[in-house]
């Protein structure tokens, strides 16, 4: 088992660190790696939906691997530089792992993530060659790949937080602004990744069922509350949700501009362009309220705040997403909402393509009980988010 040793950091060293007036290049590299990974992932899903199975080195796979390799190389270089040529003050601001190396916690996450991603690549290729096409997101090799990708994305967030938490003071307004932007970007890409992983339960056909709200309540309060607490700005959750929203909308508009046709059969839906992904959930609205709660009730008990976070998140999401699902269903193939999305192997004339089946809609006692469970889940998720956000505010390595 690897060991990690924390080195003491004095206030003088923190002041010295905060005196630096630039953003390290490797921070830009890790955030861009996170962007490359999520672009490749959504492109790959669209590729499978539009074209079918392709080779190990398809364009979306290369975008994913580029992100992993870039994050791993930049973080690995920084670790080797500090380990082999770092000064004692530099090493004192890092952690020691595997008994030999010195680096930040973010570096360690990126390196682990890169190793997992590169390991999963031949595993995924073998899986497809052995078992054929799969259109599920959470197959065994995809799970390993997703763990590697999200580990790198967490590494990007932690790397940014390390510098953000060290750099304080009014004289560094522009620098703090840069760190806040990088934090919003990395947080937004993580939200996009989480949404993508859980998208099988969060599609427009699921929005009138209680499982949709239970899954959303499990995932999003955790991250939104944590980002709200960890950010140096007053709008940490809102900014991350805005990045998530804009990114998904833009990529959904771009993908159908490029030609694509199925290469596997049977082809029941003969498409000619890449299929868009899902339209973003309306989480930006509960995110705004979460940020307001964070600063309005900062002195309140943590469980009290968790209840308020969870209740407002669920009420706002339910009040907006339920009727918005009807808008998505009514927007038959509309480019803005990306509702033209349909797998080439599915019947385009299916009567429920733009309609809810009876089994998709929760009502009566099932709806009431399901939302009560969702509320409990949201409160617990928010409580963990409070603790996680508090931990992230303390990261300085």
Work out the pLDDT band at 7, boundaries 50, 70, 90.
very low
Neighbours of 110 (CB within 10 A): 35
Q: Supply φ then ψ for residue 318, to 5 degrees.
A: -65, -45
Quick one: 186 and 205 in the same domain?
no
Work out the pLDDT band at 139, boundaries 50, 70, 90.
low
What is the predicted pLDDT for the residue at 302? 93
Structural tokens at position 310: 């969870």
From 171, 197, 223, give the residue that closes a domain: 197
Quick one: 210 and 169 in the same domain?
no
From 197, 231, 253, give the residue that closes a domain: 197
Quick one: 205 and 299 in the same domain?
yes
What is the predicted pLDDT for the residue at 130? 63
Answer yes or no: is pLDDT of 11 > 50. Answer: no
What 8-state DSSP symbol labels residue 235? T
What 8-state DSSP symbol labels residue 311? H
Between 117 and 314, the higher pLDDT residue: 314
Quick one: 329 and 240 in the same domain?
yes
Is residue 47 situated within a structural domain? yes
Over residues 252-263, the mean pLDDT reads 93
From 173, 197, 221, give the residue that closes a domain: 197
Between 14 and 269, the higher pLDDT residue: 269
Is residue 375 situated within a structural domain? yes
Is residue 10 situated within a structural domain? no
324, 207 Cβ separation under 8 angstroms: yes
Cα–Cα separations (whole angstroms), residue 250 to 13, 137, 243, 277: 42, 22, 11, 10
Work out the pLDDT band at 175, boundaries 50, 70, 90.
low
The alpha carbon of residue 261 and the mean position of all alpha carbons in its chain are separated, in whole angstroms, by: 29
Query: Of 173, 163, 191, which is closest to residue 26 (Cα–Cα)?
Result: 163
Work out the pLDDT band at 40, boundaries 50, 70, 90.
very high
Over residues 139-143, the mean pLDDT reads 69
Domain range for 296: 200-397
What is the predicted pLDDT for the residue at 350? 93
Quick one: 266 and 313 in the same domain?
yes
**Sign of torsion over alpha carbons 152, 200, 264, 340:** negative
What 8-state DSSP symbol labels residue 8? P
What is the predicted pLDDT for the residue at 96? 79
Is residue 6 situated within a structural domain? no
Quick one: 184 and 273 in the same domain?
no
Bridge-based pairing of strands 4-6 and 101-103 is: unpaired
The alpha carbon of residue 81 and the mean position of all alpha carbons in its chain are separated, in whole angstroms, by: 30
What is the predicted pLDDT for the residue at 363? 92
Answer yes or no: is pLDDT of 217 > 50. Answer: yes
Q: How far apart are CA 188 and CA 240, in angstroms?
A: 4
Is residue 5 situated within a structural domain? no
Lookup result for tokens 């508009």: 253
What is the predicted pLDDT for the residue at 25? 84
Lookup result for tokens 């998904």: 248
Q: How far apart are CA 108 and CA 152, in angstroms?
A: 9
Query: Of 158, 160, 159, 149, which is closest to residue 112 (Cα–Cα)?
Result: 149
Work out the pLDDT band at 255, boundaries 50, 70, 90.
very high
Is residue 11 situated within a structural domain? no
Cα–Cα separations (whole angstroms), residue 335 to 191, 249, 252, 253, 308: 23, 10, 8, 7, 37
Cα–Cα separations (whole angstroms), residue 374 to 70, 207, 294, 314, 315: 39, 14, 21, 8, 10
Q: How far apart are CA 348 and CA 280, in angstroms?
A: 23
Quick one: 300 and 155 in the same domain?
no
Cα–Cα separations (whole angstroms), residue 369 to 318, 321, 359, 375: 14, 18, 17, 10
Name the average pLDDT for the chain. 85
What CATH number should be reported for the domain holding residue 255?
1.20.1450
Answer yes or no: is pLDDT of 59 > 60. Answer: yes
Express each pLDDT in 347-370 by its tens digit: 999 999 999 999 999 999 999 999
Domain count along the chain: 2
Quick one: 131 and 231 in the same domain?
no
What is the predicted pLDDT for the residue at 170? 45
What 8-state DSSP symbol labels residue 130? H
What is the predicted pLDDT for the residue at 291? 97
Quick one: 30 and 166 in the same domain?
yes
To the nearest 10°, the Cα dihedral for 172, 174, 176, 178? -150
Answer yes or no: is pLDDT of 172 > 60. Answer: no
Over residues 202-220, the mean pLDDT reads 97
What is the predicted pLDDT for the residue at 283? 97
Structural tokens at position 184: 């919003």
Contacts for 171-175 with beta carbons within 8 Å, 24 or more apart? 172/18, 172/21, 175/21, 175/22, 175/23
Is residue 366 situated within a structural domain? yes
Over residues 258-282, the mean pLDDT reads 91
What is the predicted pLDDT for the residue at 239? 96
Over residues 130-151, the mean pLDDT reads 69
pLDDT above 70 covers a percentage of the chain that reads: 86
Quick one: 189 and 209 in the same domain?
no
What is the predicted pLDDT for the residue at 151? 87
Least confident of 104-113, 120-129, 280-289: 120-129
Express each pLDDT in 92-104 by its tens digit: 777 777 778 877 8
Express each pLDDT in 302-345 by its tens digit: 999 999 999 999 999 999 999 999 999 998 889 999 998 998 98
Quick one: 151 and 229 in the same domain?
no
Rg (alpha carbons) of the chain, rounded to whole number = 22
What is the predicted pLDDT for the residue at 214? 98
Residue 17 CB partners (closer than 8 Å, separation 6+)? 93, 166, 167
Please give, one letter per residue, the 3-state secondary structure of 238-291.
HHHHHHHHHHHHHHHHHHHHCECCCCCCCCCCCCCECCCCCCCCCCHHHHHHHH
Is residue 18 situated within a structural domain? no
Query: Of 193, 198, 101, which is closest to residue 154 (Cα–Cα)?
Result: 193
Quick one: 166 and 247 in the same domain?
no
Structural tokens at position 225: 């509350």
């Amino acid at each position: 088992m690897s060991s990690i040793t924390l080195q003491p950091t004095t206030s003088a060293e923190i002041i010295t660190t905060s005196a630096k007036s630039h953003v390290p290049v490797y921070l830009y590299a890790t955030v861009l790696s996170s962007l490359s990974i999520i672009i490749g992932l959504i492109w790959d899903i669209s590729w499978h939906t539009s074209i079918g199975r392709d080779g190990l080195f398809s364009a979306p796979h290369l975008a994913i691997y580029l992100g992993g390799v870039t994050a791993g190389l930049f973080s690995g270089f920084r670790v080797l530089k500090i380990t082999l040529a770092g000064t004692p003050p530099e090493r004192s601001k890092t952690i020691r792992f595997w008994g030999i190396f010195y680096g930040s916690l973010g570096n360690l996450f990126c390196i682990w993530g890169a190793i997992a991603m590169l390991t999963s690549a031949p595993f995924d290729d073998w899986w497809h060659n052995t078992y054929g096409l799969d259109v599920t997101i959470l197959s065994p090799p995809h799970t390993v790949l997703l763990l590697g990708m999200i580990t790198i994305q967490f590494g990007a967030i932690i790397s940014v937080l390390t510098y953000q938490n060290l750099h304080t003071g009014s004289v560094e307004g522009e620098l703090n602004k840069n760190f806040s932007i990088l934090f919003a970007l990395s947080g937004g890409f993580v939200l996009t990744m989480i949404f993508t992983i859980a998208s099988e339960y969060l599609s427009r056909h699921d929005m009138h069922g209680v499982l949709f709200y239970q899954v959303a309540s499990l995932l999003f309060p955790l991250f939104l509350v944590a980002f709200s607490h960890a950010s140096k700005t007053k709008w940490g959750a809102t900014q991350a949700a805005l990045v998530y929203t804009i990114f998904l909308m833009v990529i959904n508009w771009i993908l159908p501009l490029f030609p694509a046709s199925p290469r596997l059969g049977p082809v029941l839906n003969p498409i000619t362009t890449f299929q868009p992904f899902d339209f973003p959930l309306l989480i930006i609205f509960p995110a705004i309220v979460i940020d307001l709660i964070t600063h309005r009730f900062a002195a309140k008990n943590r469980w009290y705040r968790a209840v308020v976070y969870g209740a407002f998140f669920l009420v706002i999401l339910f009040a907006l997403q339920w009727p918005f699902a009807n808008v998505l269903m009514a927007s038959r193939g509309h480019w803005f909402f990306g509702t033209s999305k349909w797998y080439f192997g599915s019947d385009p004339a299916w009567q429920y393509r733009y309609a809810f089946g009876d089994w998709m809609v929760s009502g009566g006692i099932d709806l009431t009980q399901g939302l009560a469970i969702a509320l409990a889940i949201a409160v617990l998720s928010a409580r963990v988010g409070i603790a996680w956000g508090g931990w992230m505010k303390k990261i300085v390595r």
